[in-house]
């Protein structure tokens, strides 16, 4: 019987190490981004490729992006219910001059409030993902 070969992943995700604090987990992934109009398709592919994230994560996709296009920087963010998270991810991209990147941070809530520590974990997982993908040193 003939089998179709599995399609290669369209996007290459650079995943950070998982940060665990009081049973909450944080992980960032980034992908190259050439045009912000691609974000809905990339996000859809991300959620299909990582089905366990969309089922189990309390905040499956806090995100930020920066793209250099025609000598201009186009940037933005979405919190997805984790107020202030998207802006902190974007500020990290700006501070490290990371461009042509979409970064998605996932949080799995562990049942215990961790206060503002969550922002530190969001930023640290972002930095770890960017380092793994050689977007920053």
pLDDT surpasses 70 at 7: no
Give per-residue pLDDT as tens, 15-39: 999 999 999 999 999 999 999 999 9
Give per-residue pLDDT as tens, 73-101: 999 999 988 899 999 999 999 999 999 99
pLDDT surpasses 50 at 2: no
Cα(104)–Cα(13) distance, integer angstroms: 10
Q: Which helix (DSSP H) or strand (DSSP E) does residue 48 occupy?
A: helix 39-49
CB neighbour list of residue 27: distance below 8 Å, 6 or more residues apart:
15, 16, 17, 18, 19, 105, 106, 125
Cβ proximity of 122 and 26 under 8 Å:
yes
What is the CB neighbour count within 10 angstroms for residue 98? 20
* 40-61 mean pLDDT: 77
Q: Residue 38's pLDDT is what?
A: 93
Tokens of 70: 């025609």
Q: Residue 48's pLDDT is what?
A: 82
CATH for the stretch 15-132: 3.30.230.30
Cβ proximity of 114 and 21 under 8 Å:
yes
Whether the CA torsion 40, 41, 45, 48 is positive or negative: it is: positive
Record the pTM: 0.86
């Amino acid at each position: 019987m003939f089998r179709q070969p599995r399609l290669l992943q369209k996007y290459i995700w650079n995943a950070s190490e998982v940060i665990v604090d009081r049973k909450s987990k944080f992980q960032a992934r980034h992908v190259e981004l050439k045009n912000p109009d691609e974000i809905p398709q990339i996000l859809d592919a991300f959620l299909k490729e990582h089905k366990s994230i969309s089922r189990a994560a309390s905040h499956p996709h806090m995100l930020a992006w920066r793209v250099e296009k025609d000598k201009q920087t186009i940037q933005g963010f979405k919190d997805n219910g984790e107020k202030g998270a998207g802006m902190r991810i974007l500020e990290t991209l700006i501070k490290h001059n990371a461009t042509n990147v979409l970064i998605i941070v996932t949080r799995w809530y562990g049942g215990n409030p961790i206060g503002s520590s969550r922002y530190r974990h969001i930023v640290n997982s972002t930095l770890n993902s960017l380092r793994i993908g050689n977007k920053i040193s």
